Structure 1
Amino acid sequence: MQNIEDIKKIIDENLAVMLYFSAPTCNVCHALKPKLLEAIECNFKEFEVLSIDTSLEQESAAYFSVFAIPTVLVFLDGKEFLRKSRHMSVDEVVIEIKRPYEIMMR
Protein backbone atom coordinates (compact mmCIF):
# COMPACT_ATOMS: atom_id res chain seq x y z
CA MET A 1 0.00 0.00 0.00
CA GLN A 2 1.43 3.36 -1.05
CA ASN A 3 0.53 6.77 0.26
CA ILE A 4 0.20 9.83 -1.95
CA GLU A 5 3.77 10.97 -1.25
CA ASP A 6 5.17 7.55 -2.23
CA ILE A 7 3.18 7.60 -5.48
CA LYS A 8 4.28 11.15 -6.32
CA LYS A 9 7.91 10.17 -5.67
CA ILE A 10 7.65 7.19 -8.04
CA ILE A 11 6.11 9.44 -10.71
CA ASP A 12 8.93 11.97 -10.27
CA GLU A 13 11.72 9.37 -10.31
CA ASN A 14 10.60 7.34 -13.35
CA LEU A 15 10.14 8.45 -16.95
CA ALA A 16 7.07 6.27 -17.51
CA VAL A 17 4.56 5.33 -14.81
CA MET A 18 1.15 3.71 -14.98
CA LEU A 19 -1.28 3.84 -12.07
CA TYR A 20 -3.96 1.14 -12.23
CA PHE A 21 -6.90 1.91 -9.94
CA SER A 22 -9.20 -1.00 -9.14
CA ALA A 23 -11.06 -2.69 -6.31
CA PRO A 24 -11.61 -6.32 -5.23
CA THR A 25 -15.32 -6.12 -6.14
CA CYS A 26 -14.66 -5.01 -9.75
CA ASN A 27 -14.83 -7.95 -12.18
CA VAL A 28 -13.84 -5.80 -15.16
CA CYS A 29 -10.74 -4.68 -13.24
CA HIS A 30 -9.65 -8.27 -12.65
CA ALA A 31 -10.24 -9.31 -16.27
CA LEU A 32 -8.42 -6.29 -17.72
CA LYS A 33 -5.42 -6.07 -15.39
CA PRO A 34 -3.40 -9.17 -16.45
CA LYS A 35 -3.89 -8.40 -20.15
CA LEU A 36 -2.93 -4.76 -19.73
CA LEU A 37 0.12 -5.53 -17.59
CA GLU A 38 1.33 -8.10 -20.11
CA ALA A 39 0.93 -5.62 -22.98
CA ILE A 40 2.80 -2.91 -21.06
CA GLU A 41 5.59 -5.33 -20.16
CA CYS A 42 5.94 -6.53 -23.77
CA ASN A 43 5.82 -3.11 -25.41
CA PHE A 44 7.29 -0.69 -22.88
CA LYS A 45 10.27 -2.00 -20.89
CA GLU A 46 10.81 1.17 -18.86
CA PHE A 47 7.32 1.41 -17.35
CA GLU A 48 6.81 1.39 -13.60
CA VAL A 49 3.31 0.06 -12.86
CA LEU A 50 1.51 0.64 -9.56
CA SER A 51 -1.75 -1.06 -8.67
CA ILE A 52 -3.92 0.96 -6.33
CA ASP A 53 -6.84 -0.64 -4.52
CA THR A 54 -9.43 2.13 -4.20
CA SER A 55 -11.21 0.30 -1.39
CA LEU A 56 -8.07 0.66 0.75
CA GLU A 57 -6.51 3.80 -0.69
CA GLN A 58 -9.42 6.21 -1.01
CA GLU A 59 -7.21 9.24 -0.36
CA SER A 60 -4.96 8.34 -3.30
CA ALA A 61 -7.96 7.85 -5.58
CA ALA A 62 -9.38 11.22 -4.52
CA TYR A 63 -6.00 12.95 -4.93
CA PHE A 64 -5.78 11.74 -8.55
CA SER A 65 -9.50 12.49 -9.16
CA VAL A 66 -10.35 8.85 -9.79
CA PHE A 67 -14.06 8.25 -9.31
CA ALA A 68 -14.64 5.18 -11.50
CA ILE A 69 -12.86 1.86 -11.78
CA PRO A 70 -10.94 0.56 -13.51
CA THR A 71 -9.00 3.73 -14.22
CA VAL A 72 -5.57 3.88 -15.80
CA LEU A 73 -3.38 6.95 -15.48
CA VAL A 74 -0.17 7.15 -17.49
CA PHE A 75 2.52 9.63 -16.56
CA LEU A 76 5.35 10.40 -18.98
CA ASP A 77 8.23 12.48 -17.64
CA GLY A 78 6.24 13.36 -14.52
CA LYS A 79 3.16 14.68 -16.33
CA GLU A 80 -0.20 13.01 -16.73
CA PHE A 81 -0.36 11.94 -20.36
CA LEU A 82 -3.30 9.54 -20.53
CA ARG A 83 -6.42 8.86 -18.47
CA LYS A 84 -8.77 6.00 -19.30
CA SER A 85 -11.72 4.88 -17.21
CA ARG A 86 -14.18 2.02 -17.36
CA HIS A 87 -14.46 1.11 -21.03
CA MET A 88 -11.02 0.71 -22.54
CA SER A 89 -9.24 -1.87 -24.59
CA VAL A 90 -5.66 -2.98 -24.09
CA ASP A 91 -4.87 -2.14 -27.73
CA GLU A 92 -6.30 1.34 -27.34
CA VAL A 93 -4.05 2.06 -24.34
CA VAL A 94 -0.95 0.64 -26.08
CA ILE A 95 -1.58 2.62 -29.27
CA GLU A 96 -1.99 5.91 -27.39
CA ILE A 97 1.24 5.42 -25.42
CA LYS A 98 3.46 3.97 -28.15
CA ARG A 99 4.60 7.01 -30.15
CA PRO A 100 5.27 9.45 -27.28
CA TYR A 101 6.96 6.67 -25.31
CA GLU A 102 9.28 5.80 -28.20
CA ILE A 103 10.17 9.47 -28.76
CA MET A 104 10.87 9.96 -25.07
CA MET A 105 13.07 6.85 -24.79
CA ARG A 106 15.38 7.70 -27.71
Structure 2
Amino acid sequence: MQNIGSISDFELLLKTNDMVLVYFSHNRCSVCKVLLPKVQDLLATDFPKVQMAYCNIEQAPEPAAQNSVFNAPTLLIFVQGKEYMRFSRNVGLIPLAQAIERPYGMLF
Protein backbone atom coordinates (compact mmCIF):
# COMPACT_ATOMS: atom_id res chain seq x y z
CA MET A 1 0.00 0.00 0.00
CA GLN A 2 1.35 3.36 -1.03
CA ASN A 3 1.17 6.44 1.21
CA ILE A 4 0.03 9.71 -0.31
CA GLY A 5 1.77 12.75 1.14
CA SER A 6 1.06 15.39 -1.50
CA ILE A 7 -1.08 16.24 -4.49
CA SER A 8 1.78 15.30 -6.82
CA ASP A 9 1.95 11.81 -5.22
CA PHE A 10 -1.79 11.47 -5.74
CA GLU A 11 -1.70 12.58 -9.38
CA LEU A 12 1.23 10.28 -10.17
CA LEU A 13 -0.63 7.35 -8.62
CA LEU A 14 -3.65 7.94 -10.84
CA LYS A 15 -1.54 8.35 -13.98
CA THR A 16 0.42 5.14 -13.48
CA ASN A 17 -2.42 2.75 -12.49
CA ASP A 18 -5.64 1.76 -14.26
CA MET A 19 -7.59 1.18 -11.07
CA VAL A 20 -6.88 2.74 -7.68
CA LEU A 21 -8.60 2.68 -4.30
CA VAL A 22 -7.58 5.56 -2.04
CA TYR A 23 -8.29 5.19 1.68
CA PHE A 24 -8.58 8.59 3.41
CA SER A 25 -8.34 8.43 7.19
CA HIS A 26 -6.62 9.83 10.28
CA ASN A 27 -5.04 8.38 13.41
CA ARG A 28 -7.92 9.18 15.78
CA CYS A 29 -10.56 7.27 13.80
CA SER A 30 -11.29 3.94 15.48
CA VAL A 31 -13.59 2.76 12.67
CA CYS A 32 -10.80 3.46 10.19
CA LYS A 33 -8.36 1.27 12.09
CA VAL A 34 -10.77 -1.68 12.04
CA LEU A 35 -11.85 -1.24 8.43
CA LEU A 36 -8.41 -0.76 6.84
CA PRO A 37 -7.13 -4.37 7.23
CA LYS A 38 -10.47 -5.71 5.97
CA VAL A 39 -10.26 -3.58 2.82
CA GLN A 40 -6.64 -4.65 2.31
CA ASP A 41 -7.66 -8.31 2.62
CA LEU A 42 -10.56 -7.85 0.19
CA LEU A 43 -8.29 -6.33 -2.43
CA ALA A 44 -5.52 -8.88 -1.91
CA THR A 45 -7.90 -11.82 -2.22
CA ASP A 46 -10.45 -10.74 -4.82
CA PHE A 47 -8.94 -7.78 -6.66
CA PRO A 48 -5.13 -8.07 -6.61
CA LYS A 49 -4.59 -5.72 -9.56
CA VAL A 50 -6.23 -2.76 -7.81
CA GLN A 51 -3.58 -0.41 -6.43
CA MET A 52 -4.41 0.72 -2.90
CA ALA A 53 -3.15 3.94 -1.38
CA TYR A 54 -3.53 5.53 2.05
CA CYS A 55 -3.83 9.24 2.78
CA ASN A 56 -3.72 10.56 6.35
CA ILE A 57 -5.95 13.64 6.10
CA GLU A 58 -4.28 15.31 9.07
CA GLN A 59 -0.75 14.95 7.70
CA ALA A 60 -1.65 15.57 4.03
CA PRO A 61 -4.80 17.71 3.92
CA GLU A 62 -4.28 18.94 0.34
CA PRO A 63 -5.16 15.67 -1.47
CA ALA A 64 -8.19 15.29 0.80
CA ALA A 65 -9.36 18.84 0.12
CA GLN A 66 -8.81 18.47 -3.62
CA ASN A 67 -11.11 15.42 -3.57
CA SER A 68 -13.77 16.93 -1.26
CA VAL A 69 -13.07 14.47 1.54
CA PHE A 70 -14.73 15.73 4.73
CA ASN A 71 -15.28 12.50 6.70
CA ALA A 72 -13.18 9.57 7.80
CA PRO A 73 -13.02 6.96 6.53
CA THR A 74 -13.61 7.88 2.91
CA LEU A 75 -12.75 5.44 0.15
CA LEU A 76 -12.46 6.67 -3.43
CA ILE A 77 -12.25 4.28 -6.36
CA PHE A 78 -10.63 5.65 -9.51
CA VAL A 79 -10.81 3.95 -12.89
CA GLN A 80 -8.35 5.22 -15.50
CA GLY A 81 -7.83 8.44 -13.56
CA LYS A 82 -11.51 9.31 -13.05
CA GLU A 83 -13.46 8.99 -9.83
CA TYR A 84 -15.79 6.03 -10.24
CA MET A 85 -17.25 5.49 -6.77
CA ARG A 86 -17.12 7.05 -3.30
CA PHE A 87 -17.81 5.47 0.08
CA SER A 88 -17.82 7.54 3.25
CA ARG A 89 -18.30 6.92 6.99
CA ASN A 90 -20.37 3.70 7.00
CA VAL A 91 -18.62 1.41 4.54
CA GLY A 92 -19.84 -2.11 3.90
CA LEU A 93 -17.47 -4.65 2.39
CA ILE A 94 -20.12 -6.27 0.19
CA PRO A 95 -21.19 -3.02 -1.53
CA LEU A 96 -17.51 -2.10 -1.87
CA ALA A 97 -16.72 -5.44 -3.54
CA GLN A 98 -19.72 -5.07 -5.86
CA ALA A 99 -18.60 -1.58 -6.87
CA ILE A 100 -15.10 -2.80 -7.71
CA GLU A 101 -16.19 -5.99 -9.48
CA ARG A 102 -17.66 -4.53 -12.68
CA PRO A 103 -14.85 -2.20 -13.77
CA TYR A 104 -12.26 -4.73 -12.55
CA GLY A 105 -13.72 -7.39 -14.82
CA MET A 106 -13.70 -5.01 -17.79
CA LEU A 107 -10.13 -3.81 -17.23
CA PHE A 108 -8.40 -7.02 -16.19
TM-score normalised to structure 2 length: 0.92
Summarize deviations over 1:38-93 as a string: whole Å, max 9, x none: 00111111111111111111111101110001000011111111100001111110
Counterpart residue number, 1:4:
7
**Displacement after TM superposition at 1:2 (Å):** 2.2
Alignment size in residue pairs: 105
**Displacement after TM superposition at 1:98 (Å):** 0.2
The runs of 4+ residues in structure 1 deviating greater than 4 Å are: none
Counterpart secondary structure, 1:39? helix
**Displacement after TM superposition at 1:102 (Å):** 0.5
Q: Which residue, out of 65, 69, 73, partners 1:70?
A: 73
The CA RMSD measured in Å over matched residues stands at 1.0
Asked if 1 retains the 8 angstrom alpha-carbon contact of 2:77 and 2:85, the reply is: yes
Q: Which residue, out of 100, 103, 107, partners 1:97?
A: 100
**Which consecutive unaligned segments of at least 5 residues does structure 2 have?**
none
Q: Which residue, out of 19, 22, 26, partners 1:23?
A: 26
**Which consecutive unaligned segments of at least 5 residues does structure 1 have?**
none
What is the distance in 2 between the residues matched to 1:2 and 1:26?
Answer: 19
Counterpart residue number, 1:42:
45
**Displacement after TM superposition at 1:6 (Å):** 1.3
Identity among equivalent pairs (%): 32
Letter in 1 for 2:8: E
